[in-house]
Structure 1
Amino acid sequence: MTDETKWEPFDASRYLNDEETIAEYLRLSMDDENPDIFLLALADVAKARGMAHVAATAGLGRESLYKALTPGTRPRYDTIKRVLNALNLRITVVPSAPAGT
Protein backbone atom coordinates (compact mmCIF):
# COMPACT_ATOMS: atom_id res chain seq x y z
CA MET A 1 0.00 0.00 0.00
CA THR A 2 1.44 3.37 -0.99
CA ASP A 3 0.65 6.65 0.65
CA GLU A 4 -0.57 9.00 -2.07
CA THR A 5 -1.41 11.89 0.23
CA LYS A 6 -0.47 15.16 -1.40
CA TRP A 7 0.48 18.02 0.86
CA GLU A 8 0.30 21.64 -0.13
CA PRO A 9 2.41 24.35 1.49
CA PHE A 10 0.57 26.29 4.20
CA ASP A 11 -0.78 29.59 2.88
CA ALA A 12 -1.86 31.92 5.68
CA SER A 13 -3.51 34.30 3.21
CA ARG A 14 -6.31 31.77 2.72
CA TYR A 15 -7.40 32.32 6.33
CA LEU A 16 -7.11 36.11 6.52
CA ASN A 17 -10.70 36.88 5.67
CA ASP A 18 -11.80 39.41 8.30
CA GLU A 19 -10.41 42.57 9.88
CA GLU A 20 -9.99 41.14 13.38
CA THR A 21 -8.03 38.10 12.18
CA ILE A 22 -5.80 40.28 10.02
CA ALA A 23 -5.14 42.74 12.85
CA GLU A 24 -4.27 39.96 15.30
CA TYR A 25 -2.06 38.21 12.75
CA LEU A 26 -0.07 41.40 12.14
CA ARG A 27 0.05 42.27 15.84
CA LEU A 28 1.51 38.88 16.69
CA SER A 29 4.01 39.14 13.85
CA MET A 30 5.27 42.42 15.30
CA ASP A 31 5.97 40.70 18.62
CA ASP A 32 8.67 38.61 16.95
CA GLU A 33 12.22 39.97 17.17
CA ASN A 34 12.86 39.05 13.54
CA PRO A 35 11.59 41.93 11.33
CA ASP A 36 11.18 39.51 8.41
CA ILE A 37 8.23 37.92 10.23
CA PHE A 38 6.28 41.19 9.97
CA LEU A 39 7.17 41.55 6.28
CA LEU A 40 5.98 37.99 5.60
CA ALA A 41 2.75 38.62 7.50
CA LEU A 42 2.14 41.89 5.66
CA ALA A 43 2.74 40.08 2.36
CA ASP A 44 0.20 37.43 3.41
CA VAL A 45 -2.37 40.13 4.12
CA ALA A 46 -1.65 41.87 0.81
CA LYS A 47 -2.04 38.53 -0.98
CA ALA A 48 -5.35 37.91 0.79
CA ARG A 49 -6.62 41.32 -0.33
CA GLY A 50 -5.21 41.05 -3.85
CA MET A 51 -1.59 42.00 -4.40
CA ALA A 52 -2.27 44.01 -7.58
CA HIS A 53 -5.08 45.96 -5.89
CA VAL A 54 -2.97 46.72 -2.80
CA ALA A 55 -0.01 47.79 -4.95
CA ALA A 56 -2.16 50.12 -7.06
CA THR A 57 -3.86 51.62 -4.00
CA ALA A 58 -0.47 52.15 -2.34
CA GLY A 59 0.90 53.78 -5.49
CA LEU A 60 3.42 51.00 -6.08
CA GLY A 61 4.02 48.60 -8.92
CA ARG A 62 3.07 45.01 -8.13
CA GLU A 63 6.68 43.86 -8.47
CA SER A 64 7.82 46.72 -6.22
CA LEU A 65 5.35 45.59 -3.57
CA TYR A 66 6.58 41.99 -3.75
CA LYS A 67 10.17 43.23 -3.49
CA ALA A 68 9.43 45.53 -0.54
CA LEU A 69 7.80 42.69 1.41
CA THR A 70 10.51 40.12 0.73
CA PRO A 71 12.38 38.87 3.82
CA GLY A 72 15.79 40.48 4.15
CA THR A 73 14.75 43.78 2.62
CA ARG A 74 14.60 46.94 4.64
CA PRO A 75 11.63 48.85 3.21
CA ARG A 76 11.30 52.52 3.99
CA TYR A 77 8.80 53.59 6.62
CA ASP A 78 6.92 55.49 3.90
CA THR A 79 6.47 52.27 1.91
CA ILE A 80 5.13 50.34 4.91
CA LYS A 81 2.80 53.22 5.78
CA ARG A 82 1.46 53.35 2.21
CA VAL A 83 0.85 49.59 2.21
CA LEU A 84 -0.89 49.75 5.58
CA ASN A 85 -3.05 52.64 4.35
CA ALA A 86 -3.94 50.64 1.23
CA LEU A 87 -5.04 47.81 3.53
CA ASN A 88 -7.03 50.23 5.73
CA LEU A 89 -4.78 49.42 8.67
CA ARG A 90 -2.68 51.49 11.04
CA ILE A 91 -0.09 50.79 13.70
CA THR A 92 -0.92 51.84 17.24
CA VAL A 93 1.74 52.26 19.91
CA VAL A 94 0.99 51.21 23.50
CA PRO A 95 3.23 50.79 26.54
CA SER A 96 4.71 47.31 26.79
CA ALA A 97 4.68 47.37 30.60
CA PRO A 98 3.45 49.73 33.29
CA ALA A 99 5.86 52.58 34.01
CA GLY A 100 8.27 51.93 36.83
CA THR A 101 8.26 48.12 36.58
Structure 2
Amino acid sequence: MVDAFSPFDAADYLSDFDDAAAYLEAVIDEGDDDPARITEALGVVARSGNISELSRRAGISREGLYKALSADGNPSFATVLKLSRALGLRVRFESIE
Protein backbone atom coordinates (compact mmCIF):
# COMPACT_ATOMS: atom_id res chain seq x y z
CA MET A 1 0.00 0.00 0.00
CA VAL A 2 1.31 3.44 -0.95
CA ASP A 3 0.86 6.31 1.48
CA ALA A 4 -0.75 9.38 -0.05
CA PHE A 5 0.57 12.81 0.77
CA SER A 6 -1.14 16.13 0.39
CA PRO A 7 0.78 18.84 -1.42
CA PHE A 8 2.47 21.26 0.96
CA ASP A 9 0.69 24.60 1.25
CA ALA A 10 2.34 27.26 3.41
CA ALA A 11 -1.10 28.88 3.84
CA ASP A 12 -1.99 26.01 6.20
CA TYR A 13 0.75 27.16 8.60
CA LEU A 14 0.24 30.93 8.69
CA SER A 15 -1.91 31.57 11.72
CA ASP A 16 -1.38 35.27 12.48
CA PHE A 17 0.06 38.56 11.23
CA ASP A 18 3.51 37.77 12.59
CA ASP A 19 3.64 34.49 10.67
CA ALA A 20 2.48 36.24 7.50
CA ALA A 21 5.06 39.00 7.87
CA ALA A 22 7.86 36.49 8.54
CA TYR A 23 6.83 34.42 5.49
CA LEU A 24 6.77 37.46 3.18
CA GLU A 25 10.08 38.68 4.57
CA ALA A 26 11.67 35.28 3.94
CA VAL A 27 10.43 35.27 0.34
CA ILE A 28 11.82 38.77 -0.24
CA ASP A 29 15.11 37.94 1.51
CA GLU A 30 15.70 35.05 -0.87
CA GLY A 31 16.83 37.87 -3.13
CA ASP A 32 15.84 36.58 -6.54
CA ASP A 33 14.07 39.90 -7.26
CA ASP A 34 11.22 38.12 -9.00
CA PRO A 35 7.98 40.10 -8.53
CA ALA A 36 5.99 36.96 -9.34
CA ARG A 37 7.40 35.28 -6.21
CA ILE A 38 6.17 38.17 -4.06
CA THR A 39 2.75 38.04 -5.74
CA GLU A 40 2.65 34.29 -5.12
CA ALA A 41 3.61 34.82 -1.47
CA LEU A 42 0.85 37.42 -1.06
CA GLY A 43 -1.55 34.85 -2.51
CA VAL A 44 -0.40 32.30 0.05
CA VAL A 45 -0.97 34.80 2.86
CA ALA A 46 -4.39 35.71 1.42
CA ARG A 47 -5.40 32.01 1.26
CA SER A 48 -4.41 31.55 4.89
CA GLY A 49 -7.37 33.70 5.93
CA ASN A 50 -10.82 34.68 4.73
CA ILE A 51 -10.53 35.84 1.11
CA SER A 52 -13.96 37.51 1.14
CA GLU A 53 -13.11 39.53 4.25
CA LEU A 54 -9.69 40.45 2.83
CA SER A 55 -11.21 41.67 -0.42
CA ARG A 56 -13.73 43.79 1.51
CA ARG A 57 -11.01 45.36 3.69
CA ALA A 58 -8.78 46.00 0.67
CA GLY A 59 -11.62 47.46 -1.40
CA ILE A 60 -11.00 44.94 -4.18
CA SER A 61 -13.57 42.48 -5.52
CA ARG A 62 -12.96 38.81 -4.73
CA GLU A 63 -12.61 38.13 -8.44
CA GLY A 64 -10.14 41.00 -8.80
CA LEU A 65 -8.15 39.71 -5.85
CA TYR A 66 -8.01 36.18 -7.27
CA LYS A 67 -6.97 37.58 -10.66
CA ALA A 68 -4.27 39.84 -9.19
CA LEU A 69 -2.79 37.01 -7.13
CA SER A 70 -3.07 34.28 -9.75
CA ALA A 71 -0.05 32.78 -11.49
CA ASP A 72 -0.76 35.08 -14.45
CA GLY A 73 -1.58 38.08 -12.26
CA ASN A 74 0.47 41.24 -12.24
CA PRO A 75 -0.90 43.42 -9.44
CA SER A 76 -0.13 47.11 -9.46
CA PHE A 77 1.91 48.54 -6.61
CA ALA A 78 -1.28 50.23 -5.40
CA THR A 79 -2.93 46.82 -5.15
CA VAL A 80 0.05 45.42 -3.23
CA LEU A 81 -0.19 48.34 -0.80
CA LYS A 82 -3.95 47.86 -0.34
CA LEU A 83 -3.46 44.15 0.30
CA SER A 84 -0.64 44.79 2.74
CA ARG A 85 -2.77 47.20 4.74
CA ALA A 86 -5.76 44.86 4.65
CA LEU A 87 -3.53 42.06 5.95
CA GLY A 88 -2.34 44.27 8.79
CA LEU A 89 1.13 44.61 7.31
CA ARG A 90 3.29 47.55 6.26
CA VAL A 91 5.57 47.77 3.24
CA ARG A 92 8.95 49.19 4.29
CA PHE A 93 12.16 50.00 2.54
CA GLU A 94 15.56 49.79 4.17
CA SER A 95 19.12 50.01 2.99
CA ILE A 96 20.66 46.74 1.83
CA GLU A 97 24.18 47.97 2.54
Structure with max Cα Rg: 1
Count of residue pairs the alignment pairs up:
95
For 2:72 and 2:63, the matched residues in 1 are separated by 16
Secondary structure in 1 aligned to 2:20? helix
Q: Deviations over 1:7-52 (max 9, x none)?
A: 1111111101122221111012223322111111111111112111
Matched, 1:90 2:90: yes
Q: CA deviation at 1:63?
A: 1.2
Task: Give the structure 2 partner of residue 21 of structure 1.
Answer: 19
Partners of 2:17 and 2:85 in 1: CA distance = 14
Written as runs of structure 1 = structure 2, the 5 A alignment for 1:1-101 is: 2-3=1-2, 5-31=3-29, 32-97=32-97
Relative contact order: is structure 1 or structure 2 higher (C-alpha 8 Å, sep ≥ 6)? Answer: 2
Structure 1 unaligned regions, length at least 5: none
Amino acid at match of 1:57: R
Report the RMSD for the aligned CA atoms in angstroms: 1.3
TM-score normalised to the size of structure 1? 0.85
Aligned residue for 2:48, secondary structure, equals: helix
Letter in 1 for 2:16: D
Task: In structure 2, list runs of 5 or more residues that go unmatched.
Answer: none
State, as a whole percentage, how many aligned pairs show the same letter.
34
Rounded Cα–Cα distance in structure 2 between residues aligned with 1:44 and 1:86 = 14
TM-score using structure 2 length? 0.88
